Amino acid sequence: MSDLRAKLDALVTQSNVMKGSDWRTKHDALQKQRDSGEFEIGNVVPGTVTEVESLGGFHLVRTKTPLDAKHGDIDLAHALDASGETIALAACDDELESFNPTSAVFVDTETTGLSGGTGTVAFLIGAGYFEGDSFVVEQCFMRDYDDEEAMLTYLDTLFRRFETIVTYNGKSFDVPLMRTRFIQNRIPFRLDATIHFDLVHAARRLWRDRLRDCSLGNIERNILGLQRQGDVPSHEIPRMWLDYLRTRDARKLDRVFYHHQIDIVSLAALTGWISRAFQDESHAGFDHAADQCAAARLYFRRGQYQEACNCAEQVLAESSDHSVRSRAYELIGFAYKRLERWDVMEHAWLQFIEEFPRHFVARVELAKHLEHRAKNFAEAENHCVAVLEYLNTREALGRAAGRDETVETEIKRRLDRIRRKGARATG
């Protein structure tokens, strides 16, 4: 038995394993530090306890970032040059034509869960705004549940100063959650009357084709050139706050505040990046052809058809990517159709077919034009026949999965009509 004890002691010593008595001593010392308040939030994350009338207080961290600072590859000052015209274009929202960065508040929340509902609490709400030569971020933190009313009352006063709110997925998550918390605390929710720029929708329109993943972290890395240091994964944050409530040990929360602050500064930087890219008449701000094509699509959606053509034609001049070129040709054809420039439109569709003979959208559009305007029924018939032959060939090869029979029926109906018109025209 003594030999076994000696071997166990040697193993513990070599492996540097803590003995039970040592672990208990260390645990008791740690608990004593926690009980004394040594690891409370005010000692870990410097800030101030902000008292609100008779409602109590909350922990407020206020950070200023100089406008000449870099956020990744972007100068933060560029956000001040953001124009309402370009923001409305990116958001596909006419209301945002009045956007002014100096009267905008950039908002982000950290919550106890991602499902929303009345049981979910926003324990950390941040508001960023431009003030003088700085970008200010105010992070309002609940030290416990009874801090919530004071924190929301303070934010109600702060939000009154701004005309626009900027978020990332805030329309679906942050704003509905805050609305619930304000209402439950019987505080008016004034952001409902504020114009809302949700960057996630603009990001998806611009970069989904190329990046697929349009989470804020991925956009930061690939668009802003930002690499975070000492960050914490988003899914761990709710548990870290709940652990703090239980232990009163805030040492891990400094990473949460860092994560939250960077999120808010990124909102401002990304707003500046998007506006600056659209303000560049050469569209050089969009480094990738897929992004330029997405920008052309936004111009088209806003009815700026000539600008859509200019942007898409630049894609054709610079890119050899077949999928991108196909989308660019299609945009050009439909844009010139909206502009009623029939000769240019016909030329665009013919170029499309020359490079992509099997793309039936161009042939269908040409058939429409040749039937109704050019009255060239023979050529219109050829394009319809070519589409049907292509569809039948795919079916014979077993590649007809997802075949749209409605489109095929429409083409056959068009072909019959064209043949009747052609027969009448030839007498």
How would CATH label the architecture of 42-279?
2-Layer Sandwich (3.30)
Tell whether the model's pLDDT for residue 300 goes beyond 90: yes
The CATH classification number of 289-426 equals 1.25.40.10
Burial track 398-416 (b if 16+ CB lie within 10 A, e otherwise): eeeeeeeeeebeebeebbe
Cβ atoms 390, 358 nearer than 8 A:
yes
CB distance 147 to 51 below 8 Å: no
Q: What is the DSSP letter of 303?
A: T
289-426 and 42-279 share a CATH fold: no
**Does the pLDDT of residue 15 top 90, yes or no?**
no
Domain boundaries, the chain: 42-279, 289-426
> Over 60: is that where the pLDDT of 29 sits?
no
Span 205-222, average pLDDT: 94
Q: Specify the higher pLDDT residue, 116 or 377.
A: 377
pLDDT digit string (tens) for 349-370?
A: 999 999 998 888 899 999 999 9
* Residue 11 confidence (pLDDT) above 70: no
What do you get for the CA distance between the two ends of the chain, in Å?
115
